[in-house]
Chain A
Amino acid sequence: METLLLAESTAESLKGVINALCEPAPFFIISCIALIVFLVGYRTFTRPAVALTIGAAFTLFYIISAFDPNFAAIIKKPDNVPITIMMFSVGFCTWVAFRQAAINDERMERGEPLIEAGSDDKVLVWPDLVYTELIALTLCTAVLIVWAILLRAPLEQPADPSVAPNPAKAPWYFLGLQELLVYFDPWIAGVLLPGLIIVGLIALPYIDRNPRGNGYYTFKERPFVISTFMFGWVILWVVLIVFGTFLRGPNWNFFGPYEFWDLHRLAALLNVNVADIFWVRWMGRGLPDDWMLRELPGVFLMGGYFFILPVLLAFTVLRKIYRQVGLIRYAIAVMLLLWMALVPIKMLARWTLDMHYFLAVTEYFFNI
């Protein structure tokens, strides 16, 4: 009996620790560190034994977590099931890709041919490709039918404009963007950033002038581009979706994975602008009435970030890239990168400094 109680209290305190680790700042920072550690040690982490251990440990953790009623309530919501599938498939596919990249990189170091080598070896489409496609089609159909039989798609109460659910959430694949609404105004989070993602993806092949790594898995030959992409894809897209779905409850407040979604939880809103910090805290006076004067610190900050930093980077860290791609490509690439970097910067500033806006021209809906 006593050991049972002890086990239970240990489990509870462990849940408390995990709840605390899943708070926005630790969750985000741990994800970033995990990605960096993975990219640095990709050759070790993708070894089948190591990857299998990590995968099995995570799966076990996930299954045990499902015994918690609050966590189970979230992951069993029918429209959240795809997110579980997405997490595991993204993990698996990332392993498959980086495993081959590791093998290829080692082979290149030893001067051996790539996995994909032998470009002259051709096979006939009928039967080699057509049959593969047929098997894939059959499996895909079978999986869909089994999925549809086992799990009913959600159909909630009829639509009622007078009864708003709390929290009201967008479809799960847009929840990363909805999470950004916490940190940015709607025109940035909902219009500008999605637009920049699309533009950035389209621009990618025209900006990335590195001729190597075309048509085979590698990491060593294009570490910068792959690291940036993986940061954007895994952290800013997948992790934020998981965050928005699993950890955002009523009033869009944060809740740990094992916490009850309490409708009446209060969250303090103590956010301050750069202008507040500069004029009130540092200058010890009230905010100037003229918005141009008031926002001077913000203008300097954002102006420096978007217009002076690129020049400095061109002469220092990104010098090689600037030389490689030229002025126009560099200007476009660096703007996209700076906007991408602004997302985690703003998030961290919010969590550590309670930063509301760097630049707040509220008069014209222009706040960053």
Chain B
Amino acid sequence: MGSYLPLVIVLAAGGVGTVVLVLFGGAILTWVREGQVWNSVFRHGIPRDRRTRAMAVLSNVFLHLHPVAVRKSGIRLSFTWCMGGLTFFLFLAEVVTGVLLMFYYRPVVEYAYVDIQNMRAKVISMGLMREIHRWGAHAMVISIWLHMLRVFLTGSYKPPREFNWTVGVILLVLTLLLSFTGYLLPWDQLAMWAITVGSNMARATPLLGHEGPLASFLKIDGVPLVHAGSDARFGLLAGTFVGPNALLRFYVLHCVFFPVIVSVLIAVHFWRIRKDGGISGPL
């Protein structure tokens, strides 16, 4: 019996809590919402009528990305597929899990792989965070493609939304780059060789890659300017192969550089939706 005691206590407490919530939940909520603390945070009453509902959106820094009212047909699920929103949610999930992962991960060749192994073996919740982070990244790549497909097929890139489409295309590229730079961090065979294959393209860049067209013309007194130790691939990997410098570089790009740019562009993207007339619809 003794070993069941905690379970009994938890179940009893849960039961009592549920009963209290069912019986007095509404009253408690009303009491909280009428108090000074609630009203200092939310400067409006309970959103029950038109005015307070409008205030709920207007007076909230996050919600005010939305207009107060939207076209009914524009928010149908069959019209938007919620794909842009899902991409944003997935980005948030990536930020949250990514920050947690950074506590347990060192971008050094000696530790990177072991850190991920340890994370899985010793900190169960972090193992789960790692899986969520990886699958979330794949899901984000798919959802942003489908978002683009939806925007294209509804003709929503047409005037006046041309510029926001451009911002969206850049966000799409940045999403792929975020996923690509993150791919290296586990520092396993899959990571190293995928990045080797991917970054090999850079050495074929015209003018800037040592195996690219026209690069051989760039020389001073017969000494080539663009060689394996100075070309675009070298700039990407901070070396001539995927090694310790590349790991550090990709880590910084993945955790700081790209997320900051993406965050700024997401803000621009959302703001422009409103400025360009909200969710698109027949003119």
Contacts and interface: CB of A to CB of B under 8 A. Distances in A.
The answer to whether A and B belong to the same complex is: yes
Interface of A: 79, 81-82, 85-86, 89-90, 93-94, 96-98, 100-101, 114-119, 121-130, 132-133, 136-137, 140-141, 144-145, 147-149, 151-161, 163-165, 168-174, 177-178, 185-187, 189-192, 198, 201-202, 204-206, 208, 210-218, 222, 226, 229, 233, 364-366
Contacts of A210: 158
Interface stretch (B4-12, B26-34, B61-69, B254-262): B61-69
Given A147-B135, A205-B165, A217-B153, A158 B187 contact: yes
A214 B283 contact: yes
Q: What's the dominant secondary structure at chain A's contact region? A: helix
A229 B206 contact: no
Interface in B70-88: 70-75, 77-79, 81-82, 85-86
Contact of B73 (A117, A198, A211): A117
B139 interface: yes
B204 A187 contact: yes
B50 A124 contact: yes
Contacts of B154: 97, 215-217
Interface in B164-210: 165-166, 169-170, 172-173, 176, 179-180, 183, 186-194, 196-198, 200-206, 209
Contact of B282 (A145, A170, A215): A215
Given A96-B81, A123-B75, A198-B169, A364 B214 contact: yes
Given A126-B47, A132-B82, A215-B280, A165 B135 contact: no
B107 interface: no
A191 B189 contact: no
B122 to A, nearest CB: 15
B263 interface: no
A174 B188 contact: no
A170 B197 contact: yes
A165 B75 contact: no
Interface stretch (B13-21, B142-150, B265-273): B142-150
Contacts of B212: 186-187, 191, 365
Contacts, number: 283
Given A132-B82, A133-B85, A126 B63 contact: yes
Interface of B: 47, 50, 53-54, 56-57, 63, 66-75, 77-79, 81-82, 85-86, 89-90, 93, 109, 113, 116-117, 120, 128, 130-132, 134-136, 138-139, 141-142, 145-146, 148-150, 152-159, 161-162, 165-166, 169-170, 172-173, 176, 179-180, 183, 186-194, 196-198, 200-206, 209, 211-216, 241-243, 280-283
Contacts of A218: 155
A341 B124 CA distance: 50
A157 B135 contact: no
B211 A186 contact: yes
B157 to A, nearest CB: 4
A148 to B, nearest CB: 4
A206 B162 contact: yes
23 contacts: A86-B142, A97-B153, A117-B282, A122-B71, A125-B63, A130-B57, A132-B75, A153-B130, A155-B186, A155-B188, A159-B109, A164-B193, A169-B193, A172-B138, A186-B203, A186-B204, A190-B202, A201-B165, A202-B166, A206-B162, A215-B154, A217-B79, A365-B213
